[in-house]
Structure 1
């Protein structure tokens, strides 16, 4: 790697390397079918239950010191969502069935595409690679195992296992130390302006690359006012080699 400007690449996981959003949509559809059969709910009510669950999931601040596992907490989210929308008490067994249908269906789809696997394999021959993902340790480790990411990375760091997560600079400094590189040797790649791009800026990386699947190609994309500004914007991680070529040549 001597002579290269880029020595290491730090990747986000969700919606960067794996399609977590799409997998979640499919998992909700399967769970909705279960609810319709079990409780004879109409499509509108099922949709409302699923939406309520996702709201609870989004606002969930899991505290392991409370004495409940993340699985138990999320079973509770399903039970509460069904009761709040449908207005009837739900057996814990049904709530658990909903949760594990959703969880297992989602994990089954969280795989690296053949193209992404090929990309990571090629990149690892030239760069050190580290996977840095925020979230609850159990949940994120399950995603890492399901996707097979461990085979392609020198290190895997789950933010929830440390005092601070992205965008705090401390988690990036840990990554630099693990890879034995400096911030100016690294590129940060992720889909979140708030966590990945701002985090890369806070840590002083050489360049940040925003995966904006809705923004099209050409290095553009709509960055909201006040958000961290990525150095590069691409619609898919598969376009990363072009960015790396530009960094190496100073284009």
Structure 2
């Protein structure tokens, strides 16, 4: 049968996400100290906890969870998309962001100006956009695989935000097809979104490998669609044995793909 196509996840597979958000929080924490002496670590933890709490109890949570828009993405995404659900998210995100940063700062500085939360949220958004960082060896690995295999990208999230990440990262030219959950109304691990992309790649599930960092969405989704998966566990400390193939660095992928390809012919 052989391998004809490789599908990649985006966030924390080809580009950093959680680490980039932490860098943005650290920058905003330093800037927040202009309003008074604060413990920056506590401020960051409060921001993260408040973001997840308000996001999980908010009116857009069900939709965000279904297409994979995270609480931290709600802190900086523009959500300029036309879909009704994303228009609602755009309107909700403004007071959400203000509340996260103002409440977090008020826990250490009870008396702050009324617009500080909005000011800090805008600074976070700017900082997060600045920290669009590729995973180590991402471009080199894609350049190695591109001549021999059809490359696809399957990413959960809001179309406008994911497209922004893809363009800024410079990865778009490597991919024959890109699917974003917010454009389809469904996300990983639903098998349907895998099948739609596989059709765009003009191949069969038996000839595809999925590469991603999420066991819940990438590995499970690949299993649901009947395709092979490679779990990318760069951030997993003390990795426990899994019943599926894994790599800890992207540079390991080309040799592994060649091995899978050779054994499946």
Regarding TM over 0.5, the answer is yes
Report the alpha carbon displacement of residue 33 of structure 1 after superposing the two structures with TM: 0.8
Structure 2 residues not aligned, in runs of 5+: 65-84
1:187 to 209, 212, 219: 209
Is 2:225 aligned against 1:212? no
Report the alpha carbon displacement of residue 23 of structure 1 after superposing the two structures with TM: 1.1
**CA 1:210–1:113 in 2, change beyond 3 Å: closer, same or farther?**
closer
Aligned length: 239
1:222 to 228, 231, 240: 240
**Which segments of structure 1 move beyond 6 Å, counting only runs of 4 or more?**
none
1:55 to 43, 52, 68: 52
**TM-score, normalised with respect to structure 1:** 0.82
Report the alpha carbon displacement of residue 156 of structure 1 after superposing the two structures with TM: 1.6
Is 2:262 aligned against 1:240? no
Per-residue CA deviation, residues 83-131 of structure 1 (Å, 9 max, x unaligned), is 6734747656432332232233223222335732122122111111111
RMSD over aligned CA atoms reads 2.9
Q: Secondary structure at the match of 1:118?
A: helix
Bigger relative contact order, structure 1 or 2 (CA pairs below 8 A, ≥6 apart): 2
Structure 1 residues not aligned, in runs of 5+: none
> Does the CA contact (< 8 Å) of 1:36 and 1:46 recur in 2?
no
**CA 1:161–1:76 in 2, change beyond 3 Å: closer, same or farther?**
farther
Query: CA separation in 2, counterparts of 1:26 and 1:67?
Result: 24
**TM-score, normalised with respect to structure 2:** 0.78
Is 2:176 aligned against 1:163? no
Per-residue CA deviation, residues 48-76 of structure 1 (Å, 9 max, x unaligned), is 43333442477362443537347525523
Query: CA separation in 2, counterparts of 1:22 and 1:222?
Result: 22
Q: Secondary structure at the match of 1:131?
A: strand
